[in-house]
Amino acid sequence: MIRARFLHILCFLHFADNSQRHDEGEEYDRLWKLRTVSDKPNEVYAKFYNPSEHLAVEEETVKFKGRVIFRQYNPEKGKCFGIKIYKLCDESRYTYDMRAYFGTDTYSTTDDMTAAHATVRHMTSRVEGLGHKIFMDKLFSSPRLFDDLYISKIPFCRTVQPDRKDMPRDSGPKQLKLKRDDIRVRTRGGLTAFIWKDRRKVYTLTNVDPPPAEGNICDDSNHPMKPHIVEWYNWHVDYVHNYDRMANSYSMS
């Protein structure tokens, strides 16, 4: 197919009826023109594949310079302009679920549920109660989300910002003074807030492992060791980033 013919077809290619578009100013699904296409892969992912025990939820940016209202701009990344996509990947870097970010999500956000909270609950609904362990970074982390996942019987492990709502009051940077390799633990029900001082303080929320002992963890030579939960988190949370590196080798161009 020659280039001119391809562009001519592209001008008239539609996956939705334009007569069904919403009025100006009305709340609507920003991906309504491609909704039938975008939902199909997620259905196929779940139908033909069983993910591994450990899963990671992370964001990635797909390079795009076209005109869409939900295009993101981040000058700190190599892909300055693009569409942000949240993905759920397993150990083999297989994408089990994905969802585009459209800015303000008025459909799923409420006074008690942020957009990140709603995104995580949507993407983990298919693995609820199946024993999968979810790993996420601090973008999605909050004690309220963890309580929701704990009730749904979804084990998790994530880093978190110390100033997030419902975090322990004595775990802030100014309240908690730690030396190098010190460990502090706070628990509430099945939720553990774990603080470890490396060069900086690492705040982690988890319900996967039993709470570690406070103090310092040392090896047989009495040298401080990195906590097991931190090593475990660093290993599993990078699934989406590895997928992104693999996908960049097979771009559309």
What are the boundaries of each domain within the chain?
Answer: 33-247
Structure tokens, 83: 């569409």
Amino acid at 164: R
Give 42-83 pLDDT, tens digit per residue. Answer: 888 888 888 888 888 888 888 888 888 888 887 777 778 888
In the numeric block, the tokens 């990078």 are attached to 238
Residues 203, 208: Cα–Cα separation, whole Å: 15
Distances (CA, A) of 198 to 65, 181, 187, 194: 40, 6, 21, 13
116 sits in which H/E element = helix 115-123
pLDDT of residue 4: 93
Percent helix, strand and coil across the chain, each to the nearest 5: 25, 25, 50
What pTM was computed for the model?
A: 0.73
